[in-house]
Amino acid sequence: MRLVIERGELLRALGHVTSVVERRTTIPILSNVLLRVRESTLEFKATDLEREVIEGVAADVQQPGAVTVPAHMLHDIVRKLPDGSQVDIRRDAEKERLTLAAGHARFALQTLPAEDFPDIGIGEMGQEFELTAQDLKRLIDKTRFAISTEETRYYLNGIYLHTAQSNNKATLRAVATDGHRLAQVELPLPKGAEGMPGVIIPRKTVHELNRLIEGSSAAVKVAVSPAKVRFEIGSVTLTSKLIDGTFPDYGRVIPQGNDKELTVSNAEFMSAVDRVSTIASERGRAVKLNIKPDKLVLSVNNPEGGSATEEIGVEYSSSPLEIGFNARYLLDIAGQLEGERATFKLADPGSPTMVNDPGDATALYVLMPMRV
């Protein structure tokens, strides 16, 4: 196996694939990246047995072949090579070494056989459709903050992607919840997604996918089966196992009869919450909303640190209400709203509150109150 490749191309591809490689693993080959050389392409593959990333880059191939080498070490070496250098890569099969040469620098890395490298991407995918990277990023960005990190409720450790009906129109909907807050966003159902099984995409896969589509304008090909999901973004393919569990019936926690409506300037509200929560204890982070007609008073009382209040003007015409929320959760949700205003639909101090953007009917958020 022998090839020559430009350092920048090599670094970019390694940056995409090595992010799924665990720093510590009990299975030695999982610390490695698979290099497969054929015709005029160098293909990289890395996996942690839950996710797999493959990327192909153009190279000057002199002899095809395949081998695996330590992923993070290779990435660190290439990162430190001079910009614009040509990297000569060749395999010494007798010594079981892969050598890299660039300028006057030369490295020899230990290898493991390519045939021992696991392949989680094999198997048929039943459903295939396309999304723009922008649409997919929107589904992720507006929901991932609400993914649960509690391992005991593993079925909440991801985004639930499924088809749904909204105003008699078929939609592709993403939902995430941790039991304290819920985020839901949808878009028109892409062609080919009809009848798609509802799938829970794991948190790590969501973060990896978000990184890969950052700044991309390409169409993303999505393929789904009951056990796996695959995303093709340009020259990169990410395959992941799905969470094997049943996502709860989230529709039951979305309040339907909340009749007290509060409308605020989103920027003003976020700034006020941020200021008063400075004094809140890290453990509690509770902020109290005292809502009266056309007036909202935000307050925090921390026995150890003091107290803070701030008043802002609002649109509200129902009976007065006092309700508490986690300040961090309020800021997370308000940060997702694109418009200038935020609407809160409330019922009483012990019931869930619905938050949405008056200018965007495709996203909604639900927040459980706290006792303050």
3-state secondary structure 180-220: CEEEEEEEECCCCCCCCCCEEEEHHHHHHHHHHHCCCCCEE
Q: Give the model's pLDDT for residue 7.
A: 95
CA distance 126 to 194: 11
Within a domain: residue 120?
A: no
Q: Over the stretch 101-153, which tens digit does the pLDDT of each residue have?
A: 999 999 999 999 999 999 987 778 888 999 999 999 999 999 999 999 999 99
96 and 57 within one domain:
yes
Among 201, 223, 252, the domain-final residue is 252
Pair 133, 64 in one domain: no
Average pLDDT of the residues in 251-257: 92
Is residue 72 domain-shared with residue 83, that is, in the same domain? yes
In a domain, 186, yes or no: yes
Among left, alpha and beta (phi > 0; psi -120 to 50; other), residue 246 is beta
CA-CA-CA-CA dihedral for 263, 267, 273, 279, to nearest 10? -160
Instruction: Answer whether 163's CB lies under 8 Å from 196's CB.
Output: yes
Q: How confident is the model at residue 283 (pLDDT cuts 50, 70, 90)?
A: low
**What pLDDT digit, counting tens, does each position of 342-351 carry?**
999 999 999 9
Residue 54 within any structural domain of the chain = yes
Residue 234 shares a structural domain with residue 158: yes
Question: Does the pLDDT at position 18 exceed 70?
Answer: yes
- What's the alpha-carbon Rg for the chain, to the nearest Å? 25
Report whether pLDDT(284) > 80: no
Give the whole-angstrom CA distance, residue 306 versus residue 170. Answer: 51
| Of the candidates 353, 359, 357, the residue with the CA atom closest to the CA atom of residue 181 | 353
Among 311, 313, 307, 285, smallest CA distance to 298 is for 311
Question: Based on the structure, what is the number of domains in the chain?
Answer: 3
Q: Do residues 43 and 79 both lie within one domain?
A: yes
Structure confidence at residue 360 (pLDDT) = 87
Whether the per-residue pLDDT at 274 is higher than 80: the answer is yes
Q: What is the pLDDT of residue 282?
A: 74
- Residue 245 shares a structural domain with residue 263: no
Residue 56 pLDDT > 90: yes
Do the domain assignments include residue 119?
no
239 and 141 inside one domain: yes
Does 229 share its domain with 273? no
How high is the pLDDT of residue 165? 92
Q: Which of 104, 79, 60 is nearest to 13 (CA)?
A: 79
Q: Looking at the structure, do residues 34 and 49 belong to the same domain, yes or no?
A: yes
Return d(Cα 218, Cα 187) in angstroms, integer. 18
Listed range (43-47, 55-59, 93-97, 145-149) with the worst mean pLDDT: 93-97
Nearest of 333, 169, 178, 185 to residue 247 by alpha carbon: 178
Q: Where are the beta strands (DSSP E) in 303-368?
A: 306-313, 321-326, 341-346, 353-357, 360-367
What span, in angstroms and rounded, lies between the C-alpha atoms of 304 and 289?
21
Cα 40 from chain centre: 33
Quick one: the chain helix, strand, coil %, rounded to 5? Answer: 25, 45, 30
180 and 220, same structural domain?
yes
- Cα–Cα distances (Å) from 285 to 143, 274, 313, 335, 367, in that order, read 21, 11, 23, 17, 14
The answer to whether 162 and 196 are in contact (CB under 8 A) is yes
DSSP category for residue 117: S
Q: Is residue 159 part of a domain?
A: yes
Q: Please indicate, yes or no, whether residues 90 and 148 belong to a single structural domain of this protein.
A: no
Residue after which a domain boundary falls, among 110, 139, 168? 110
Instruction: Give the domain extent around 91.
Output: 2-110
**125-136 pLDDT per residue, tens:** 888 999 999 999
For a pLDDT cut of 90, what percent of the chain falls above it? 87
Average pLDDT over residues 228-249: 95
Checking if the pLDDT of 174 tops 80, the result is yes
Tokens 């005991």 belong to: 152
Domain boundary (196, 228, 252) is at 252
Q: What is the mean pLDDT of residues 150-159?
A: 95
Say yes or no: 81 and 67 in one domain: yes
Tokens for 247, please give them. 């996502």
Question: What CATH number does residue 349 fall under?
Answer: 3.10.150.10
User: What confidence category does residue 276 fall into, taking pLDDT thresholds of 50, 70 and 90?
Assistant: very high
For residue 79, what is the enclosing H or E element? helix 71-80
The mean pLDDT value for 224-252 works out to 94
Considering the domain boundaries, does residue 10 fall inside one? yes
pLDDT for residue 126: 81
Instruction: Give the mean model confidence (pLDDT) for residues 326-340.
Output: 93
Report if residue 372 sits inside a domain.
Answer: no
Average pLDDT of the chain, as a whole number: 94
Question: Is residue 208 within 8 Å of 53, Cβ to Cβ?
Answer: yes
Do 15 and 44 touch, CB atoms closer than 8 A? Answer: no
Per-residue confidence (pLDDT) for residue 185, from 0 to 100 = 97
Say which amino acid occupies 294. Answer: D
Q: What is the pLDDT of residue 73?
A: 96
